[in-house]
Every structure is written in structure tokens, then in C-alpha cells.
């Protein structure tokens, strides 16, 4: 087992659960097979282990510095960037014509996950660059593509997305950065952006900021927002750098975790000379950004899952090698202490972690497979299902990956709390994930206020079909019978809740129905992940159940037990949540400011 | 409202809920009244605000350094120590004869809480010193008291408790530090201790370590453990310092939070010349230490509650002043943004925090009042109840205070994640509390394996009498009727669980019954805190319900609403926990090492 992931589990998820092999039915992926996939993953794992994991802790202890002129990062980050960009991974998802590998999202996610497990801070730079390049690829003009993409694909340029402003936060419709049209078709930007990850650094020659701004005189609200390419250095037609643009680093922000990625306050146009280039049409900026944002949200979920996974493996390793204490029933104080993995409460914390992180990873890989089916395969249904699930894919791992890290610390005890061991950093790093790319609360409003009802709830129907299919496939497996029964019972509870909330929204009780949206997000997340656990446990038994290999037997037993845990312990909580949701419980909404 | 606590709430808890005024019925406290209490609290608050809160963040950013010779801390810590020790608070609980104030534990806890809220790292030094002094006072010889206590009371000496060893951790019975008797009655100690808070520093002239060690030839297990005074510098009879003792700082550990308090690895007797002085009798060391440990456990709970409280106040302040977004039902993007305290999901996170931290503080103050009733007042019942509750007093705030800090971060969003705002430090600091002074798992075994059944479960009976009394007092309050009904129903569920687990233990299923002890600890914690919420809400209505003052009305409404939240949202979870507990669910215990 690597420190980054259980490779047997990854392989199982990719090939047994999510059938990566049949992706080659999609024409764009026709050239690929398991050999090419495994080889890309192996390369990613090697680079992640050699050039990312090596400075995860160092980059945390030596965060980027700003001397008022220049940002400096430790040399290992540049080295990691170099190896990442040379590997072709920055461009892996793109077409052969664009110099890419036409790699499926599913396999690309597996690769990305390895980097986050190794070093989420440093992995931030290439991930943001890929995301920004995707937007230019999808919505930029041919000229823009020719000018910026080669540098973003070969590692000369990095990318950012600059949405948030100091006074605005999540409420993007209120943003105030201005864009003033110029005679040559470009714009002059003016405004301040905050929490911009990778907004400045000393790793790449240039930084391509994608900036949301409002063209002078445009509508208020989200419909007045446009998107601009705003490079740190202007770029000549041949790709070489021209003069410095008027984008200034106002300062670095100092995060609790993810310290390796700079978090910046950027001033655009302090000297009224910040040039930006409109992407696509005016007023459509938020739509373009959301295309990128939806992928970024899968990325956040995946990152949270993998930081959770890393902590799980660390704490498992510790528990297997740390002798301490005896069974409660033991009276013999001279007997040999047990390794703590033998204690029931430690098993509980490890099993909870396993169920959260393997479940979260499965969820994110499933979403990535849906991206492939929809974007490359043209299956509209997969796109609809993905839309529905995106808030959950972003939020469940952010919430439960962090819980996993909390347990990892607790398994290590005192050692878990000190920086001499790696798990406290996982916990600090992972705390970002319920916040960025749309907070937990924002995701819950998106799910319960919009996604669940879009296209006559077709997404939910598609999900239910998949669920029923899994239950049908698993129905003859005796070891899963109690869990399947339990799941079906909870499914009824869940369906009632959805129906009731839908009626209540239709009757116009919008604020009342959405007041407890966070509770619903958690509940539905558990339903979805519990389904994936049944799927995993059932596939494991069907594919490996007859294996005479002990390792396979252990693997199957582990999947079955984690499925049992997730359904008995975690899913069991939804009855109470359902009660609160169905009654439109107003305890929180009724609270008044002056009563606090 | 101060940044450290809601003073109206503190006053309500002390005088209305826990009747501090009638403590003067206890002879030792006969001289006191509310005026003297308020004056001590005011002094504590002033010192906490002026000399502790001032460097909370600085001490976190500039943690103690060890250059191989000497530890250095920032000057503000020494200044804080000076003011704390000059205030007489180090010695506040002790008798007039010993130069103390004979201050009740209840009032002392209120004072201590203010310091933890202001700066838990720096507060660690005086708290550990008081705790160590208490042990010497209780079990030391007259000579030992005369030699060490004056320095520990006036601030020349600090104290530590040195239990944990690198290879032993929570399993104290296995500790290996040796003590070799010398002809003069002293001992030579040899061994290594780890995670010793305050184990070295440059704040005080001397450090008095209380060290657990095993006299050569003593029994294995806990009965072979003795307790030794082992000062950094030996002390002459007149209190002046003699030669340096053979206690060496092997190194500092670097914590995620609580960075202001040094965490040390100490070597005793590397040069075979570490002198220790036996406290009390050989073989009774763990008993003595536990006397101190039980008070330390209340201290941990209180600290966790107050770090939670601090984060709550910070996030409340932010939410009241941060405009962002509109109601979900709002369609007008040009309308003025609301302060986020108006959003239902933010209210939820604030109300949850309020219910956790005010409930936790109430729990710790209740425990402190029991200390007074038992130790100073001689009420055996109070001691029995305190014994039962101690694992909960330590654990509930550790778990829920941390959850509160998690919500505080989420309320602030991006600002919550950066070190430019104070709440991320609260979260890091508070993560220590479920670990030290007995982990959550250890506490849960103590509760379910021992405390619940001691003296024929008399503790539980006493608790139930108090609970019934509260329910009776509150029964005519219409606003609490639904919560009381709900509580009674949960009380039945809880009682069934206790009965069933008791039978199961009696039938010899020790490991099976204790396997889910952590779940039981959480469940019982919620029962106890929910009871305290009914008590608070009911007392608030009875004492302030008729007030014509708007602030009083708001206060009562807040207590009632938080009670409603805690019972409807949090206590609602116990049904599911009860199911798992009653069935002796073996999902976790069944898990095998190789299946992970």
C-alpha cells in the first residue's frame, strides 16, 4: 500500500466499479485501454511521490513570502511544477490536435487525486491552471486560444480564477470590479479581488487571470457580469512576454492550511492601466465561469476525499504498529500490550474513516465518469445526473473527509496533535474544502432550491434508476441482505422528504423550505454514498468473492464491513433529519439577532 | 458584551442557575458574598483582557524556541505570568492560613474560563502550577509544603505533571520510569517523559515536576506507581535555589495549536543524578495524581467550553456586521444585501454554537459547584455525582466546543480560514482537548465501564433526582412544554439503554458492552446538557420573564430558543444511538486488521 492511496482500491474502483475499460466505446477514447490508463496513473503516482510528497510538510512550514516586491516560494515547488508540466498532465484531457492525451476525466481524476494526497498546496497551481485553460479552450476566440493555451499547457504560464471581492464574498451578483471598453476592443479593468489562489508566485513566467467584472453601464446582478483574460504580463502574438500589466499583489493572506498555495489580494488597475480581454460575449461571464466552477467543484470534492484518504492511511499505519493497552476485560497488567488497531474504539475510528474516504472517492470518480459520458460520449442523461449530484460531490467529501482527518488525529492521540506527524496538517488543509468554490450552505441551497427540481426532477429519477439497479444486482448476496433492507427503508423516508419539500416549495414557502437546506444536503449525501457502498460491496463480492487469494478475501470483507458500518451507523441518522425536514422545523429560522 | 464572554450570561449562570450566593452557607466561604465574587471576577477579566488576550495571536505565531540550551518565549508571556501571580489567583482556592482567598471552585472556574478564552496557551502555565500545588497541598509532607508551596503560590516556581512516556501513552500502568531509593530518603529517577506541558520555559525561576515513576522492585501495573516531586533546581530549606537537578529538556514538540504552552520531552537522570522526593506513600502515586487529574479534567472541559465561547462571540460579531446576499425568495438583485446573521443557515450555525458553548459552560460550572459542595461543604452526594459526571464534563465540551469552532470558521467563510482572523486559532487550540488528560475513548471507558455502576449507581440516581426536580420546576412553563415532553421521552430511551448495558456487563460481556462506549458517552453527554438547557431556560423565565427590560426579554428568548434547538436538533439523535447501543452492535468490533 502506498502512502498516497490503496492501489488495490483505486484499481477496483476504476475497473470493477466504474468500468473504465468500456470508456473506449466513446470514440474520443477509442485508442485507450487499461494498459495506457495504468501507465498514466503510474507516472502520476511516481511524480506525486517523488516531487510532491517530498515537500508537503516543508511547504507548510515555509509558506510563500512577500517582501513587498516579489513572492518567493521554496525551490521544491518549482521542481514539482516542472515535472508536472513535463509529464503532459496539464494538458492530458485535451485533444491530440491540441497536444493533449484525450485522457478520460475518470482517469484524470485518479491522477489528480494522487497529487492532492501527496501535497494539496503545491497541487493547487497545476489544477488551477488546467481549470483556467479549460475555460479559454471552451469559450475563448481562436486568437485567444493560440496566444494563451500553449503556455498554459507547457507550464510557462499558470492560471487563476478571480471571482471573490473583499465586500462581496459568495454573493457574486454584487461584484463591483469595472471593465471599461477601449477602442481597440480590449477593456481597462479596475477593482480588487480577494482569496485568489495562485494570484502571484515565482514559479511561472506569467499568470493568466480569468477575472469577473462588470462592463461600465451593464445590468446589476449576475446578468451584468463578463469574463476577462487579464494576464500578469501582456503576451505578444508569438507567445513571448510584452510589458507588465497593471495587476498588483496587494498582499498575501495567511491560511490555516493549504499554505503552499498563495492566497492573494489583487488590485487590478490601480494605475488605470490594467488590460483585460473579453471572453465570449458580454454579460455571459458567470455562465462561462460556472462551466469551470462545476469541474472545480468535483476537484474540491476529490481533494477533500484524498486528504481524508491520506490521513486514513497514516492513522491505519500508526494503529497497526503502536502497542498500547489491553482489552477492557483483561485483568493481567503484565500481559503484552495490544497494537491499538485491536481496540474496538480505534477500529470504530478507522472504519468510519474508511467508509468516509473510500465512499467519497467513489462518489468523485462516479462524477468524473459522468463527465466522460456526457461531454465525450454525448449522453444527455449523464449530464443531467451530474448536475444534480455536483453539490453533493463537492460537499459530502468536504464534510466527511474532514471528519476522517479528525479521527486520524484522535487515533494517533498526542502524536496526532503535533507537527512531527502528518495528520494535523491534513486536518488543517482539509478545513478549506467546505468553504471555497461555494460554501456548504451555498451548495445546499443549490441542491434543494434548484438542482433537485430542474427538468422535472429528471436527475433524481435517473439517480433512483441507478440505485434500484444496484439493489437488484445485490439482492441475492446474503451478506448484504440486512443492509439492503435497511437502505430500502431509508429510501422511503428520503422519498417522502423530497415529496414534502417539493410541495412546500410549490406552495410558495420558499424561505421556510430552504431554511434547513444544509440538513437536506447532508441527508441526501448519505443516501448517495450509502448506495455507492452497496454498489462497492456487491461488486467486490461478485468479482472477487470466489478468489482463493487471501488478499482478495480480506479486500471483499473490508468493503462489506465498511458498507455495513456506513449503513448501520451513518445512514441511521437520517430518520431524525427527516423529521426536522418534513416538519419544516423553524427553530433556526425563528432565532432573532438580539436573542444571541 | 466582552470579547471573552457574555457577562450577562456568566452572571446568570453563577447567581441565578448555580446560586453562588448560597455558597456562603459553607463555613469556609462564609466571608464571601456576591460583591467579593464580582470583584475577583472583574480583576480576572481585566488581567485576561489586558495581559493575556493581547498576545494570544502573537504567541501562536511565535511559539517557544529551544536553541539546545535554553527555551525562549515572547516577553508578553512573562508579563502575563507576573500579573496573574501578583493577583493572588494562583493561590485563590487555598485557605487564608496559606495566604489564599478561600475562593469557591465555582468562582475560580469562572475566572479561569476568562483566561482560557483570552489565551489558552499562556493560561496553561498558571493552571498547571495551581494543579501541581494542589497535589502537594493535599498529599505532601509539611516539609514539602513549606519548601515548594510558597514559591508556587507567589509565582517564583511553576508546576507540571509528568505522566506520559514515549512508549506508553494512555496506558499508565505500563510506565517504566524508575526510582531508586537513596540513603537520605530521597530517590534517583531515571526515565523519559513526553508531552509534558510547561516542562521547560524561561518564565519562572524554577519548575516543580510531579513525576510518576516505579520504585525499583515495585509491582507491575498501576499499583507499583509512586509520585515524586522532582524540581528543575533543588530547593534549599529557605526556599532559595540550590544546584541544578538532572532533568534535561530533550526537545520541544510542535503542536497544531496551544502553541504558547511548551510541550516537552524530558529526560530524568541521564547522568544518574536526578533527585526526586516521594509524595505520600509508595505505590499510591496514581491515586494522588488522579485527585489532581479529576480537577484537571474539569479544567479541560472548561477550557474547551471557553475556546468555543470565544469563537462563538467572534462569529456572532462578524455575522452581525457583514452584509452579504439576500433571502432565497428575493428576486431583486438591486435590493440591499442583508447582514448574514439574517440567513437561516447562519442562524443555525450560531444557534448550534450558542447551545454547545453555553451548555458546556453550564456543565463545567455545575461540576465546580459540586466540588465546593463536596470538598468544602462535606456533602458526600455531591462528590458521588461529580465522580459520575467527570468524564462527561471533560468530554462533552471537548467535542462540542470544537464543533462550535468549526461552525465559527464556516460563518466567517474565507475569513474564517485565514490567520488574519482569530477563529482558526480557536479551532486549532481546541483540537487538543479531546486528547489530553485522558482521550475521549478513555473517558468513555471510564464512564461506561466504571463510573456508571460505582456505589450501586448512586451517582446516576442522584443525577436523575436533579433532572426530575428541574422537570417539575419547569412543568408549568408553556413555552418549554414541547421540549419537556420530548426530553421525558428521551429519558425513557436513555434509561432502557443503561439498564440493558448494565445487564450485559453483569452477564460478563465486558468487551462487547464496552465496544461502543464512545457512542454512550456522546449520548449521555447530550442527555445531561439537554437537562441543563431546560434548567437554564426555566430559571431564565422564572427570574427574568416578567422583566420590562428589553435586554432581559431578549436574554430569556435566547435561552428558550437555544434549549429548543438543543433538544429538537441534537437530542433527537439519541434514538439511533440507543438502537446501536442496545443491540450491542458489533460492526466496529468485528472489523479485522487485515480488512482495512
The pair phi, psi for residue B252, each rounded to 5°, is -95, 150
Q: Does B316 contact A590 at a Cβ distance shorter than 8 Å?
A: no
Sorted by where each starts, the structural domains of chain B and their CATH numbers stand as: 7-154 (1.10.540.10), 157-283 (2.40.110.20), 447-591 (no CATH)
Instruction: Tell me the C-alpha to C-alpha distance, in Å, between residue B163 and each of B169, B201, B303, B440, B471.
Output: 9, 18, 21, 18, 42
Reference B161, options B105, B207, B216; nearest CA is B207
- What pLDDT score was predicted for residue A221? 87
Of B348, B514, B576, the CB nearest to A328: B514
Euclidean distance between CA atoms B100 and A465, whole angstroms:
73
Enumerate the residues of chain A whose CB falls inside 8 A of the CB of residue B595. Answer: 554-555, 557-558, 561
Beta partners for B162? B211
Please give the ipTM for the structure prediction: 0.97
- Set of cell numbers at residue B217: 522492585
Sign of the dihedral through C-alpha A129, A65, A213, A228: negative
What is the Cα Rg of chain B in Å?
Answer: 24
| Cβ contact B257:B430 at 8 Å | yes
* C-alpha closest to that of A412 among A401, A399, A398, A426: A426
Rg (CA), chain A: 24
Q: pLDDT of B328-374, one tens digit each?
A: 999 887 889 999 999 999 999 999 999 999 999 999 999 999 999 99
3-state secondary structure of A268: strand
Q: Does the CA dihedral B85-B88-B89-B92 come out positive or negative?
A: positive
Chain B neighbors of A406, CB-CB under 8 A:
431
Question: Is the CB of residue A368 less than 8 Å from the CB of residue A106?
Answer: yes
Q: How close B386 gets to chain A, by Cα (Å)? A: 23
Nearest Cα neighbor of A596 from B345, B360, B354, B565 is B354
Q: Chain A residue with minimal CA distance to B579?
A: A572
Residues B397, B301: contact at Cβ < 8 Å?
Answer: yes
Best residue of B414, B427, B517 to probe chain A, by most A CBs closer than 10 Å: B414
Average pLDDT over residues B65-82: 97
Q: How far is A30 from chain B (nearest CA, A)?
A: 36
Mutate to test the interface with B, among A168, A322, A441, A580 (most CBs of B within 10 A): A441
- Tell me the CB-side half-sphere exposure of residue B164, using CA atoms within 13 A: 22
Contact check, Cβ <8 Å, A435/B410: yes
Annotation marks residue B437 as catalytic: yes
B1 pLDDT band, cuts 50/70/90, is low
How far A71 CA sits from the closest chain B CA (Å)?
18
> What are the catalytic residues of A?
437
Tracing cell 505570568 back to the chain, one arrives at B81
Among chain A residues, CA nearest to B565: A587
The DSSP secondary structure of A90-158, one letter per residue, reads GGTTS-GGGT-----HHHHHHHHHHHHHH-HHHHHHHHHHHHHHHHHHHHS-HHHHHHHHHHHHHTSEE
Chain B residue numbers with beta carbons less than 8 Å from the beta carbon of A350 are 591, 596
Who among A173, A326, A588 is closest to B351 (CB)?
A588
- Put simply, the answer to whether B334 touches A221 (Cβ < 8 Å) is yes
Rounded to the nearest 5 percent, the helix, strand and coil shares of chain A are 65, 10, 25
Cell of B436: 489530553
Span B545-562, average pLDDT: 97
What residues of B are in contact with residue A344 (Cβ under 8 Å)? 511, 514-516, 588-589
CB contact under 8 A, B328 and A431: no
pTM of the model: 0.97
Residue with cell string 456526457: A374
Q: Rounded to 5 degrees, what are φ and ψ at A272?
A: 55, 30
How big is the A-B interface in CB pairs under 8 Å? 263
Enumerate the residues of chain A whose CB falls inside 8 A of the CB of residue B518: 345, 348
Q: Is B274 left (phi over 0), alpha (psi -120 to 50) or beta?
A: beta
Q: Do A577 and A519 form a contact (C-beta atoms < 8 A)?
A: yes
Q: Which residue of A has its CA nearest to B556?
A: A595
Q: Answer yes or no: are the C-beta atoms of B448 and B514 closer than 8 Å.
A: yes
Ramachandran class of A179: left when φ > 0, alpha when ψ lies in -120 to 50, beta otherwise: beta
Half-sphere exposure of B81 (CA within 13 A, CB side): 31
Whether residue B418 contacts residue A253, with contact meaning beta carbons closer than 8 Å, is answered with yes
Long-range CB contacts (within 8 A, 24+) of B49-54: B49/B2, B49/B3, B49/B4, B49/B118, B50/B83, B51/B76, B51/B79, B51/B80, B51/B83, B51/B84, B52/B80, B52/B115, B52/B118, B52/B119, B52/B122, B52/B123, B53/B3, B53/B4, B53/B118, B53/B119
Note whether A413 contacts B575, CB cutoff 8 Å: no
B410 and A434: CB-CB below 8 Å? yes
Residue A1: per-residue pLDDT: 56
Q: Are strands B225-231 and B275-278 parallel, antiparallel or unpaired?
A: antiparallel
Strand B206-215 versus strand B178-181 pairing type? parallel
Tens of each residue's pLDDT in chain A, 596 residues: 569 999 999 999 999 999 999 999 999 999 999 999 999 999 999 999 999 999 999 999 999 999 999 999 999 999 999 999 999 999 999 999 999 999 999 999 999 999 999 999 999 999 999 999 999 999 999 999 999 999 999 999 999 999 999 988 778 888 999 999 999 999 999 999 999 999 999 999 999 999 999 999 998 888 999 999 999 999 999 999 999 999 999 999 999 999 999 999 999 999 999 999 999 999 999 999 988 888 889 999 999 999 999 999 999 999 999 999 999 999 887 889 999 999 999 999 999 999 999 999 999 999 999 999 999 999 999 999 999 999 999 999 999 999 999 999 999 999 999 999 999 999 999 999 999 999 999 999 999 999 999 999 999 999 999 999 999 999 999 999 999 999 999 999 999 999 999 999 999 999 999 999 999 999 999 999 999 999 999 999 999 999 999 999 999 999 999 999 999 999 999 999 999 999 999 999 999 999 99
- Cβ atoms of B443 and B351 within 8 Å: the answer is no
Distance from CA of B425 to the nearest CA of A (A): 8
Find the catalytic residue in B373, B375, B437, B535. Answer: B437
Residue (of B177, B593, B165) closest to A339 by Cα position: B593
* Region B375-389 average pLDDT: 97
Q: At what angle do helices A285-321 and A380-412 cross, to 10 degrees?
A: 40
3-state secondary structure A520-586: HHHHHHHHHHHHHHHHHHHHHHHHHCCCCCHHHHHHHHHHHHHHHHHHHHHHHHHHHHHHHHHCCCC
Placement of cell 498575501 in the chain:
A252
CA A4 vs CA A10, A87, A309, A432, B404: distances in Å: 11, 19, 8, 20, 31
**Closest approach of A481 to chain B, Cα-based (Å):** 15
Cα separations (Å) of A21 from A34, A113, A307, A552, B167? 6, 20, 27, 21, 48
pLDDT band at B295 (very low <50, low <70, confident <90, very high): confident
Contact: A413, B171; criterion CB under 8 Å: no
Helix residue ranges per DSSP H, A322-439: 344-371, 380-412, 423-430
Closest CA relative to residue A571, chosen from B369, B289, B99, B579: B579
| Alpha carbon B135 to chain centroid, angstroms | 18
**CA B511 centroid distance within chain:** 28
| Whether A363 contacts A301, CB under 8 Å | yes
Task: Report pLDDT for B170.
Answer: 77
Is the distance from CB of B168 to CB of B175 less than 8 angstroms?
Answer: yes
Strand partners, A209: A160, A230
Closest chain A residue to B195 measured between Cα atoms? Answer: A414
Q: With the CA atoms of B290, B294, B297 and B301 taken in that order, what torsion angle do they form, in degrees rounded to the nearest 10? A: 170
Nearest by Cα to B430 from B390, B411, B403: B403
Q: Do B171 and A341 touch (CB under 8 A)?
A: no
Mutate to test the interface with A, among B351, B588, B593 (most CBs of A within 10 A): B588
- Residues in chain A with CB shorter than 8 Å from the CB of B587 are 351, 561, 564-565, 568-569
Q: Which of B64, B220, B344, B351 to mutate to test the interface with A (most CBs of A within 10 A)?
A: B344
3-state helix, strand, coil in chain B (%, to 5): 65, 10, 25
Among A317, A519, A567, which residue's Cα sits nearest to residue B593? A317
Q: Which of B168, B417, B517 sits opposite A432 (nearest CB)?
A: B417
Amino acid at each position: 500500500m502506498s502512502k498516497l492511496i490503496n492501489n488495490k482500491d483505486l484499481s477496483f474502483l476504476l475497473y470493477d466499479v466504474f468500468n473504465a475499460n468500456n470508456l473506449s466505446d466513446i470514440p474520443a477514447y477509442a485508442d485507450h485501454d487499461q494498459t495506457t490508463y495504468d501507465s498514466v496513473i503510474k507516472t502520476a503516482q511516481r511524480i506525486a511521490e517523488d516531487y510532491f510528497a517530498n515537500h508537503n510538510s516543508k511547504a507548510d512550514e515555509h509558506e510563500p513570502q512577500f517582501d513587498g516586491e516579489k513572492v518567493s516560494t521554496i525551490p521544491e515547488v518549482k521542481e514539482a511544477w516542472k515535472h508536472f508540466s513535463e509529464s503532459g498532465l496539464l494538458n492530458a484531457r485535451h485533444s491530440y490536435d491540441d497536444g493533449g492525451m484525450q485522457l478520460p476525466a475518470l482517469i484524470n481524476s485518479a491522477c489528480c487525486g494522487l497529487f492532492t494526497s501527496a501535497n494539496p498546496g503545491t497541487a493547487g497551481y497545476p489544477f488551477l491552471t488546467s481549470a483556467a485553460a479549460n475555460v479559454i479552450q471552451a469559450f475563448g476566440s481562436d486568437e485567444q486560444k493560440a496566444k494563451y493555451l500553449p503556455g498554459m499547457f507547457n507550464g510557462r504560464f499558470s492560471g487563476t480564477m478571480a471571482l471573490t471581492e473583499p465586500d462581496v464574498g459568495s454573493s457574486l451578483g454584487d461584484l463591483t470590479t469595472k471593465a471599461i471598453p477601449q477602442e481597440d476592443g480590449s477593456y481597462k479593468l479596475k477593482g480588487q479581488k480577494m482569496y485568489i489562489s495562485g494570484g502571484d508566485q515565482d514559479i511561472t513566467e506569467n499568470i493568466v487571470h480569468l477575472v469577473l467584472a462588470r462592463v461600465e453601464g451593464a445590468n446589476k446582478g449576475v446578468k451584468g457580469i463578463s469574463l476577462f483574460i487579464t494576464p500578469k504580463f501582456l503576451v505578444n502574438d508569438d507567445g513571448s512576454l510584452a510589458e507588465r500589466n497593471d495587476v498588483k499583489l496587494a498582499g498575501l493572506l495567511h491560511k490555516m492550511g493549504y499554505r503552499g498555495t498563495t492566497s492573494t489580494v489583487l488590485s487590478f488597475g490601480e494605475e488605470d492601466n490594467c488590460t483585460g480581454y473579453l471572453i465570449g460575449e458580454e454579460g455571459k461571464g458567470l455562465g462561462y465561469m460556472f462551466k469551470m466552477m462545476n469541474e472545480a467543484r468535483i476537484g474540491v470534492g476529490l481533494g477533500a476525499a484524498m486528504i481524508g484518504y491520506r490521513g486514513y492511511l497514516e492513522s491505519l499505519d500508526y494503529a497497526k504498529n503502536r502497542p498500547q493497552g489491553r482489552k477492557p476485560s483483561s485483568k493481567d497488567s503484565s500481559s503484552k500490550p495490544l497494537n491499538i488497531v485491536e481496540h474496538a474504539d480505534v477500529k470504530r475510528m478507522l472504519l468510519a474513516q474508511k467508509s468516509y474516504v473510500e465512499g467519497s472517492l467513489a462518489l468523485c470518480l462516479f462524477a468524473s465518469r459522468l463527465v466522460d459520458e456526457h461531454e465525450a460520449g454525448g449522453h444527455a442523461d449523464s449530464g443531467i445526473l451530474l448536475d444534480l449530484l455536483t453539490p453533493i460531490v463537492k460537499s459530502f467529501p468536504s464534510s466527511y473527509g474532514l471528519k476522517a482527518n479528525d479521527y486520524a488525529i484522535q487515533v494517533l492521540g498526542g502524536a496526532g496533535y503535533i507537527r512531527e506527524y502528518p495528520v494535523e496538517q491534513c486536518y488543517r488543509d482539509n478545513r478549506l474544502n467546505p468553504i471555497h468554490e461555494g460554501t456548504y450552505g451555498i451548495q445546499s441551497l443549490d441542491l434543494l432550491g434548484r438542482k433537485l427540481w430542474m427538468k422535472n426532477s429528471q436527475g433524481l429519477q435517473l439517480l433512483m434508476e441507478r440505485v434500484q439497479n444496484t439493489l437488484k444486482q445485490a439482492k441475492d448476496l446474503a451478506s448484504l441482505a440486512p443492509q439492503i433492507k435497511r437502505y430500502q427503508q431509508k429510501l422511503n423516508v428520503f422519498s417522502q422528504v423530497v415529496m414534502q419539500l417539493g410541495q412546500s416549495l410549490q406552495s410558495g414557502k420558499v424561505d421556510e423550505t430552504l431554511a434547513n437546506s444544509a440538513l437536506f444536503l447532508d441527508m441526501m449525501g448519505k443516501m448517495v454514498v450509502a448506495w455507492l457502498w452497496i454498489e462497492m460491496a456487491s461488486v467486490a463480492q461478485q468479482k472477487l468473492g470466489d478468489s482463493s487469494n487471501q488478499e482478495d478475501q480480506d479486500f471483499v470483507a473490508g468493503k462489506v464491513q465498511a458498507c455495513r458500518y456506513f449503513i448501520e451507523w451513518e445512514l441511521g441518522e437520517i430518520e431524525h433529519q427527516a423529521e426536522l425536514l418534513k416538519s419544516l422545523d423553524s427553530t433556526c429560522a425563528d432565532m432573532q439577532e438580539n436573542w444571541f
